[in-house]
């Protein structure tokens, strides 16, 4: 059974030879793994680690040169300035580009938002490179995934938060629902067309379409289920429909506690839920498997908040073993972390993780 067959069997709720393995790491951890194994590139590293999925980049940005600001912030394709931030200390430092200024935060009307001069255009992306990406990815024998990068993946709430501000867009749901609806619809329209062109360019070369939008916090949803159904569910379903029309399995990444809307996600056609974040309220994996495991596959579940950075290799082995015993029966499970393995994770723990996947993941 090759990697692609293994992944597709699991997503068909059948037990393959072993649980498929995915690889989510920051660039800092990836560099350490490359050096440790002496690999020439990430493709070789994925083979060494026994990873079963490969991600393609997608279209190339060819739009206007992004504006650079005096503080070093650089605009993303939504016109949102992102500031480089260092996290961690010593040999566990990492870098992110974070948002501290929200260009539409002060807008008072739909008209002001409509007239925003930095709305992205689909013509700013060149899809002609996708076919070659797919050809190379398919040649690896792995399941091929399109997700996009951290700043550009099919979503609604997170781009709205970046444009409007986290606090303001949540206030809009109650105080300015016309603004919220316009903003979500405008963002969704862009990504629906973006996904459509992406999958047309890819032909039949992609297996999984993964969206990414955080609907939850550590303690609950960002909004009530009814608000989710009014403001976000229509666009969420429309993006899934694009993937389904092209014969893809559709996955969604949402951090946080989101159990009350999981039935909605399934009704919209979702196949795979990531990350089953273990360190948040009311996301007990045993209950999720019992309640939804016949209709939904699970991807993730390994703690990057506690076990990987602060645990021992034995703690990691125990967690991996428990996840397989809990989420693995009957298929419908892919090993992965609850987010990228962060730069605060010791190398020995990252190594122990991938070793444990293979030690405890056999059916």
Mean pLDDT value across residues 53-72: 95
Is the separation of the CB atoms in 35 and 41 below 8 Å?
no
Q: What is the pLDDT confidence band of residue 242, given thresholds at 50, 70 and 90? A: very high
For residues 245-268, one letter each, b for 16 or more C-beta atoms within 10 angstroms of the residue's C-beta and e for the rest, the string is ebebbbbbbbbbbbbebbebbeeb
Query: Domain spanning 3-59+106-360: which CATH class is it, in words?
Result: alpha beta
How is the chain split into domains, by residue range? 3-59+106-360
Residue 288's Cβ-count burial label (10 Å; 0-12, 13-18, 19+) is buried
pLDDT surpassing 80 at residue 44: yes
pLDDT for the residue numbered 91: 78
Mean pLDDT value across residues 224-248: 98
- pLDDT, mean over the chain: 96
pLDDT surpassing 90 at residue 87: no
pLDDT surpassing 90 at residue 149: no
pLDDT for the residue numbered 43: 97
pLDDT surpassing 90 at residue 92: no
Whole-angstrom distance, CA of residue 115 vs CA of residue 124: 19
- pTM more than 0.75: yes
Whole-angstrom distance, CA of residue 215 vs CA of residue 140: 33
């Amino acid at each position: 059974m090759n990697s692609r067959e293994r992944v597709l069997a699991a997503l068909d709720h059948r037990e393959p030879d072993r649980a498929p393995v995915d690889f989510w790491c920051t660039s800092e951890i990836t560099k350490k793994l490359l050096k440790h194994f002496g690999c020439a590139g990430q493709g070789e590293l994925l083979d060494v680690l026994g990873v079963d999925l490969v991600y393609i980049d997608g279209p190339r940005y060819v739009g206007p040169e992004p504006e650079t600001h005096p503080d070093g912030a650089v605009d993303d394709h939504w016109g949102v300035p992102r500031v480089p931030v260092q996290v961690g200390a010593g040999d566990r430092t990492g870098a992110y580009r974070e948002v501290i200024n929200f260009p539409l935060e002060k807008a008072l009307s739909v008209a002001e938002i409509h007239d925003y001069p930095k709305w992205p255009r689909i013509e700013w992306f060149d899809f002609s490179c996708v076919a070659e990406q797919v050809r190379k990815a398919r040649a690896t024998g792995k399941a091929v995934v399109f997700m996009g990068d951290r700043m550009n993946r099919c979503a609604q709430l997170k781009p709205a938060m970046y444009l409007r501000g986290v606090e303001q867009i949540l206030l809009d749901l109650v105080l300015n629902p016309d603004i919220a609806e316009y903003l979500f619809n405008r963002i969704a329209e862009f990504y629906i067309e973006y996904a459509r062109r992406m999958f047309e360019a890819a032909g039949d070369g992609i297996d999984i379409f993964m969206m990414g939008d955080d609907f939850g916090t550590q303690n609950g949803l960002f909004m009530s289920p009814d608000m989710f159904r009014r403001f976000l569910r229509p666009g969420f379903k429309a993006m899934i429909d694009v993937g389904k029309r092209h014969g893809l399995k559709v996955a969604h990444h949402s951090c946080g506690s989101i159990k009350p809307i999981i039935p909605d996600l399934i009704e919209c056609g979702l196949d795979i839920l990531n990350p089953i974040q273990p360190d948040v309220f009311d996301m007990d994996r045993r209950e999720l498997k019992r309640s939804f495991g016949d209709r939904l596959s699970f991807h993730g579940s390994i703690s990057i908040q506690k076990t990987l950075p602060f645990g021992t290799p034995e703690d990691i082995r125990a967690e991996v073993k428990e996840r397989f015993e809990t989420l693995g029966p009957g298929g419908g499970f892919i090993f992965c972390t609850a987010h990228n393995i962060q730069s605060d994770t010791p190398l020995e723990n990252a190594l122990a993780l991938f070793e444990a996947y293979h030690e405890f993941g056999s059916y």
